[in-house]
């Protein structure tokens, strides 16, 4: 049982980190190709994996701090590897993390409400509800990430006022 949960967590955390990189590369396009692209992408995946794992294991780092660290890592990756201007790199980094984290809180809250289990129980206990919750969260994250990439690839040039509205909406969703 412990071995299952260990490997399940490893795979899920790698998947979550990979989704972040997929959105960044898909939305803005990588400056590099070949080995360089894969090395930079792998470095970000490893960093986010370690950060997520550390938060999950210790429960010492507040989630908002984790989100800020992830946004910072995505933005630095954007500066080093992605096409587009600085503002767009920052915005994609913010939207990427906030939207995918919103999927986590929405799905977890939904399942908590209908199952009668508290969020704390769902995080701590290794049971079928937790397994279902984690799987559904990541299905939603993958779905949202594909939509997000398509939106960024097809969107017209959005005005600064529209970005501020979009960004403030995501921040308020993350805070609440």
Local confidence pLDDT in tens for the 176 residues of the chain: 789 999 999 999 999 999 999 999 999 999 998 999 999 999 999 999 999 988 887 777 787 888 999 999 999 999 999 999 998 899 899 999 988 888 888 888 889 888 888 888 877 788 888 899 999 999 999 988 988 888 888 765 666 666 666 666 656 555 54
Which pLDDT score, from 0 to 100, does residue 60 have?
A: 76
pTM: 0.82
Which pLDDT score, from 0 to 100, does residue 104 have?
A: 86
Q: Do the beta carbons of residue 13 and residue 38 sit within 8 Å?
A: no
Cβ neighbours of residue 170 closer than 8 Å, sequence gap 6 or more: 94, 95, 98, 99, 102
Which pLDDT score, from 0 to 100, does residue 175 have?
A: 54
Q: Do the beta carbons of residue 74 and residue 93 sit within 8 Å?
A: yes
């Amino acid at each position: 049982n412990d071995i299952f949960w260990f490997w399940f967590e490893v795979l899920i955390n790698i998947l979550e980190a990979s989704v972040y990189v997929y959105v960044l590369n898909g939305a803005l396009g990588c400056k590099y190709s070949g080995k360089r692209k894969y090395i930079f992408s792998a470095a970000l995946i490893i960093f986010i994996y370690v950060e997520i794992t550390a938060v999950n294991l210790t429960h010492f780092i507040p989630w908002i701090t984790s989100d800020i660290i992830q946004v910072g890592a995505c933005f630095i990756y954007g500066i080093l590897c992605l096409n587009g201007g600085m503002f767009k790199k920052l915005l994609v980094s913010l939207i990427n993390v906030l939207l995918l984290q919103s999927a986590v809180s929405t799905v977890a809250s939904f399942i908590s409400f209908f199952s009668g289990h508290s969020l704390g129980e769902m995080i701590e206990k290794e049971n079928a509800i937790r397994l279902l919750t984690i799987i559904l969260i990541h299905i939603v994250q993958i779905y949202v990430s594909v939509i997000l990439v398509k939106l960024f690839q097809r969107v017209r040039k959005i005005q600064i006022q529209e970005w501020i509205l979009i960004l403030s909406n995501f921040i308020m969703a993350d805070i609440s």
